[in-house]
Amino acid sequence: MKIDEAIKGYILDCKVRGRSHRTIEWYEQKLRYFARWLNEEEEVRQLGGVSIAHLRSFVLHLQSVPLARSSADGDEHISPLTVKGYVQVIKGFFSWCHNEELIDKNPAQRLQLPSVPDYMIPTFTPEHIRAMLDACDLSTWLGYRDYTIILVLLETGIRVSELCGLRLQDVHDDYIRVFGKGRKEREVGISPDVSKHLWKYIHKYRRIPAADATELVFLNRHGHPLTRSGVEQFLVELKDKAGIEGVRVSAHTFRHTFARMYLEQGGEIYKLSRLMGHSSVEVTEEYLKDFRVRSARQEHDKFSPVASIGLLGKRRKSKQDDKDKGTS
């Protein structure tokens, strides 16, 4: 069987299993690129002709691809996280091919996931959040919509796809119902203050919806469904208006900020995992790097080696003593 035909079958199965549109798009883009590389560089077109050597060569190729092909110096390459994403998709694809008996052996079984640096995503400070809220013009429907979106993202930590898919019937006085990955349903609480702003947006500022958006809470300026790219564009513009530097303004950063603040206020990690719609606590722990770093930094004053033995205090005292002696 040709590799292209196997990819079509895999994508079709992903749709049957209810994978999200974005996930399927992500899988297909990576697999098509992989298939083109096999054809052009290795002259391999048949599924059964792929070996572990081909897969390892492809990983080496990815690790050497410039970040931007038009880059003058060509020193920067695509990130290790992107390379790891390709490997995960390829391993999933060949595992499916083997389970479907399209191949006798799985060539990706011994393909190891590449290691990646231990990244830490910076989160928002209270000053960042206030600046973003202050940048919204509450006298306009669009400004009030943006203001409400900021509050909902910070309050709930929901994904951008969940925000865009939020329906009117999913909004309740003290919680919202969202549908996460795999169409898994969960409920996330909201405070009275956020609930009030959400109610006011829906009943006073929400535009008259187009036919394709009658049930959706958040709409674009034309009354159509607000999309992921629409949210991203609004947040890019918000960053400039608020003058925020040193942190990425994105729905994902709001998600990390929600997780950090939940734990800082004494929240329990297992409950946090359920609120965020994670498949396991291990996934949630990836969100806690900034929380741990902040906690360690804040605790440092209590356990500072220099402060514990009063080195600087004694030094200042001795200088003052010398000065007093000199004037006596």
Per-chain mean pLDDT for the chain:
85
Query: What pLDDT band is residue 64 in, cutting at 50, 70 and 90?
Result: confident
Residue-range domain boundaries for the chain: 3-99, 126-297
Q: Given a cut of 90, is residue 201 above it in pLDDT?
A: yes
Rounded to an integer, what distance in angstroms lies between the CA atom of residue 251 and that of residue 235?
8
**Buried b / exposed e along 17-55 (16+ C-beta atoms within 10 A):** eebbeeebeebbebbeebbebbeeeeebeebeebeeebb
How confident is the model at residue 327, as a pLDDT?
52
Rounded to an integer, what distance in angstroms lies between the CA atom of residue 209 and that of residue 7?
38
Q: Given a cut of 90, is residue 116 above it in pLDDT?
A: no
The CATH H-level superfamily of 126-297 is: Intergrase catalytic core (1.10.443.10)
How confident is the model at residue 278, as a pLDDT?
79
How confident is the model at residue 177, as a pLDDT?
93
Rounded to an integer, what distance in angstroms lies between the CA atom of residue 97 and that of residue 156?
39
Q: Given a cut of 60, is residue 165 above it in pLDDT?
A: yes
Please give the average per-residue pLDDT across 206-211, as a whole number.
91
- For the record, the structure tokens of 244 come out as 């925020």
Q: Given a cut of 90, is residue 31 above it in pLDDT?
A: yes
Check: CB of residue 38 under 8 Å from CB of residue 54: yes
Q: Given a cut of 60, is residue 328 above it in pLDDT?
A: no
Please give the average per-residue pLDDT across 145-158, as a whole number.
95
Residue pointed to by tokens 């409400």: 148
Please give the average per-residue pLDDT across 208-219, as a whole number.
92
Residue 262 φ/ψ region, left for φ over 0, alpha for ψ in the -120 to 50 degree band, beta for the rest: alpha
Rounded to an integer, what distance in angstroms lies between the CA atom of residue 254 and that of residue 257?
5
Coil/strand/helix, residue 261: helix
Please give the average per-residue pLDDT across 298-313, as a whole number.
58
Q: Given a cut of 90, is residue 269 above it in pLDDT?
A: no
| pTM listed for this prediction | 0.66
Please give the average per-residue pLDDT across 132-142, as a whole number.
95
Please give the average per-residue pLDDT across 236-262, as a whole number.
91
Q: Given a cut of 60, is residue 69 above it in pLDDT?
A: no
CB neighbour list of residue 312: distance below 8 Å, 6 or more residues apart: 306
Per DSSP (E only), the strands in the chain are 175-179, 185-189
Q: Given a cut of 70, is residue 295 above it in pLDDT?
A: no
* Strands 185-189 and 175-179, bridge-based pairing: antiparallel
Rounded to an integer, what distance in angstroms lies between the CA atom of residue 62 and that of residue 172?
47
- For the record, the structure tokens of 10 come out as 């895999």
Query: What does the chain come to in residues?
Result: 328
Check: CB of residue 188 under 8 Å from CB of residue 290: no
Q: Given a cut of 90, is residue 322 above it in pLDDT?
A: no
Percent of the chain, pLDDT > 70?
A: 81
Half-sphere exposure of 207 (CA within 13 A, CB side): 18
55 vs 294 pLDDT, higher one = 55
Q: Given a cut of 60, is residue 304 above it in pLDDT?
A: no
Q: Given a cut of 60, is residue 132 above it in pLDDT?
A: yes
How confident is the model at residue 109, as a pLDDT?
95
How confident is the model at residue 185, as a pLDDT?
86
Rounded to an integer, what distance in angstroms lies between the CA atom of residue 203 and that of residue 58?
54
Check: CB of residue 211 under 8 Å from CB of residue 177: no
Check: CB of residue 34 under 8 Å from CB of residue 86: yes
Please give the average per-residue pLDDT across 231-236, as a whole number.
93
User: pLDDT tens for residues 7-19?
Assistant: 999 999 999 988 8
Query: What pLDDT band is residue 311 in, cutting at 50, 70 and 90?
Result: low
How confident is the model at residue 136, as a pLDDT?
95
The continuous run of DSSP H or E covering 87 comes out as: helix 80-99
Statement: 3-99 belongs to CATH 1.20.272:
no
